[in-house]
Amino acid sequence: MFIILTGTPGTGKTTVAKTLASRGYDTVTVEELAREHNCLEEVDGELEVDVDKLAKAVSQPEKDTILEGHLAHFMPGRMNIILRCHPETIRKRLEERGYDSEKVQENVEAEAIDLILSESTQKCLFVFEIDATELSPENIVDSIERIMNGEIDDYSPGKVDWSMAVMEWY
Ligand code: ADP
Ligand code: MG
């Protein structure tokens, strides 16, 4: 089945998926899956994934496969792992990526208000969060392996709390 690896852009999903692949896990991105199932559409000159169509089109792989992307939690899977990152770290990473200020702010705020967590819990019973702010990719993968092995106590949803970071904005 799919193991969903989601998170706000900049939290480190793609980096972590590469580390998972180097440990022998099968990985796929939402975009790759969307291309395979003809679920990419052009909106305002940009390719967008039709998540509803894709969620209906995908079939679960026999082997556990990491499905990575900031829309991955809209896909069905065995469990849902969310990478979290301090909003100011996200801001720095997305500025370095060259996103415009509006897109940076949108994503910083999405992280701050737990947007992906709330979307995830509406779709999936088994949701976990990893605060990846201070962790290396190897350490994040160690955490993911613990979750997959059922050692979930440190990763229950709701433990990550950026409200203090938000208070500093005012
Ligand atoms: P995402 O796929 O979630 O958008 P990326 O994997 O592309 O995130 O990572 C965003 C940026 O953060 C990249 O510049 C990457 O090198 C850096 N990065 C990713 N993971 C870590 C980490 N664990 N520690 C420090 N920097 C990281
Ligand atoms: Mg990525």
Mean pLDDT per 10-residue section of the chain, whose length is 170 residues: 98 98 98 97 92 96 97 97 98 98 97 97 93 98 97 95 91
Classified by CATH at the fold level, domain 2-168 comes out as Rossmann fold (3.40.50)
The finding on whether 135 has its CB within 6 A of some atom of ligand 1 is: yes
Q: What is the pLDDT of residue 125?
A: 87
- Pocket flag, ligand 1, residue 69 (CB < 6 Å): no
How high is the pLDDT of residue 124? 84
To test ligand 1's pocket by mutation, which of 67, 93, 116, 144 has the most ligand atoms within 8 angstroms of CB? 93
93 lines ligand 1 (CB under 6 A): yes
- The pLDDT, as a whole number, for residue 71 is 98
CB 81 within 8 A of CB 152: no
DSSP annotation of 170 reads -
H or E element in which residue 31 lies: helix 30-36
Task: Kindly state if the Cβ of 133 falls inside 6 Å of ligand 1.
Answer: no
- 0.95 surpassed by pTM: yes
Closest CA to 165 of 94, 106, 113: 113
**pLDDT tens digits along 53-103:** 999 999 999 999 999 999 999 999 999 999 999 999 999 999 999 999 999
Q: Residue 102, class by beta-carbon neighbours within 10 Å (0-12 exposed, 13-18 middle, 19+ buried)?
A: exposed
